[in-house]
Chains A and B, each alone.
Chain A
Amino acid sequence: MDISQIRKLIRLIQSSDITEIEVTEGDHTVRVSRQGAVAAPVVQQVAAPTIPTPVSAVVSPLAEESMEDENIVASPMVGTFYLAASPDAEPFTSEGVKVKKGDTLCIIEAMKLMNEIEAEYDGVIEKILLENASPVEYGQALFVITPL
């Protein structure tokens, strides 16, 4: 199970009254439990055959992971990803370039609905995760932008 799925479980438990979730996928089991009302959830990734004692224990520093997550620009819909306004135009941005809040980063198109994605904050384009004209899924990461 990858880190983003675990993160989803953590969000799920944080937004509910549940105190523990256990998910088994193939030969891996992940158990997320809440200890106390405000404490951070504890994540245990377990190899299934050795259920009794959690072997590979806590997925640690969550703080660092979620920082990185916040710096990802995700697609709000399924569509086609364009890095430029037209096939002949210069790309909106490229890796290593500084962007300002409100700058256009890309366009996602579906059924001739054009969704211009704008930078939410000033930053530097760390990574562009897709090629121009690629298909994109809901919630898929498009850019990593380090805030300035």
Chain B
Amino acid sequence: MNANREAILAHLGNSTIPVSGHALAEKMGLSRTGIWKHIQALRKQGIDIESHAGRGYQLKSDVLNTSMFAGRLKTQRIGSHIVVLDETDSTNREVMRQAESGADEGLIVIADFQTQGRGRLGRSWHTAGHDSLAISILLRPNISPEQVPQLSLLTAVALQRALALHAPETRIKWPNDLLLHGAKIAGILTEMRAEPGQVHAVVLGIGLNVQKPANGWPKEITQKVTDLCSSSGKHVSRLTIASEIIQAIDDYYDMYIKHGFAPVRKLWWDAHAASGQLVRAHHGNDRDGGYVEGIAEALDEDGALLLRVGDKLQRFIAGDLELIDNASMDHASTDQPA
């Protein structure tokens, strides 16, 4: 995008009230007519900018661009370089491609549309333009590949903290799904390139439902889903929540580098939807019937979920966790004769 137009959007996007053509012209060293021409061009691109007589311009579309983040982030490692794309195959793939050509730690890629947005094991992830946020972050941590799964849980903690600013009931489901009253609001897919003993690149990928699409969720989505705006009962812009997520990841990554996994592990356990409760763990291995049921007893030091199955503790490291409706079970138990 034209640098002036990007700057105009950044000014408008960072203001909650209309900004006058005069003020924009002064800030950018352009004439008011010049500003007006750029506004017209932006409108032609489909961006909704309202004119308020005597007060100025107000941005109605939830657009994002790199300039908008300037001054919003106080990060140490993440966001050194932010790329905002209209469309890509997958933000994780884009970051991994840039990592392979030598990109530095802290690179962020955000896209309005992903043509091949993915979840675990090739499941598709729906990214609906301004209704969603797809964001991927490159890390190059100086840790062993064995420790990298911890970053998958760290991302969940950071995301939970950022979402809880607007929707305090947000909970984590092992290892890193984000739920609100049992409905999925965000997902995380972490990818790594490594060889034994050496991490080359780690990509943290986050997909967030910001608001419900005007024509509803696609039919292919079969699980219960929700979105940030409905859950919090107010409009939260993508710029706001994206900045909060990036800041939180940077903060917890810094904590992890300085103090290791232990503090993150405790925060994770406190935010987990099923700590101490009965769960069904689908490991996908047909030889054992595909799943095991047990009590989620603790989070192991590497991020594995420890399940108490009978008198044994089992480690669960890959698969889908299903929460069993504990509320209804509690209810059933109160019906038992005393």
Contact = CB atoms under 8 A, between A and B. Distances in A.
Contacts of B194: 76-77, 115
B102 interface: no
Given A112-B190, A114-B189, A77 B148 contact: yes
Given A78-B146, A78-B317, A111 B303 contact: yes
Task: Summarize B's interface: helix, strand, loop or mixed.
Answer: mixed
Interface in B145-204: 145-146, 148-153, 175-176, 188-198
A86 B122 contact: yes
Contact of A115 (B192, B285, B304): B192
A114 B122 contact: no
B121 A113 contact: no
A74 interface: yes
Contacts of A76: 145-146, 194-198
A41 interface: no
B145 A112 contact: no
Interface in A62-96: 74-80, 82, 85-89
Interface in B110-141: 120-123
Contact of A111 (B153, B193, B195): B153
A76 B304 CA distance: 17
B192 A113 contact: yes
A113 B122 contact: no
A118 B175 contact: no
A140 to B, nearest CB: 10
Given A77-B149, A87-B284, A133-B284, A112 B195 contact: no
- Chain A interface: which size bin? 20 to 34
Interface string B274-307: 0000000001111000000000000000111000
A111 B176 contact: yes
A20 interface: no
Nearest to A112: B175
B318 interface: yes
A79 B196 contact: no
Nearest to B318: A80
A55 interface: no
A110 B123 contact: no
Contacts of B189: 112, 114
B188 to A, nearest CB: 7
Nearest to B305: A111
Interface in A101-148: 109-116, 118, 120, 133-135, 138-139
B302 A87 contact: no
Interface in A1-46: none
Contacts of A135: 317
A116 B193 contact: yes
Given A109-B318, A111-B317, A89 B193 contact: no
A127 B152 CA distance: 31
A86 B121 contact: yes
Contacts of A139: 196
A89 B196 CA distance: 27
A113 B146 contact: no
Given A77-B145, A87-B284, A112 B302 contact: no
Q: Which 4 A-B pairs have the closest CB atoms?
A: A86-B122, A80-B318, A111-B149, A76-B145
Interface of A: 74-80, 82, 85-89, 109-116, 118, 120, 133-135, 138-139
16 contacts: A75-B196, A76-B146, A77-B194, A78-B302, A78-B317, A80-B317, A109-B121, A110-B302, A111-B149, A111-B150, A111-B318, A112-B190, A115-B145, A115-B192, A115-B194, A116-B191
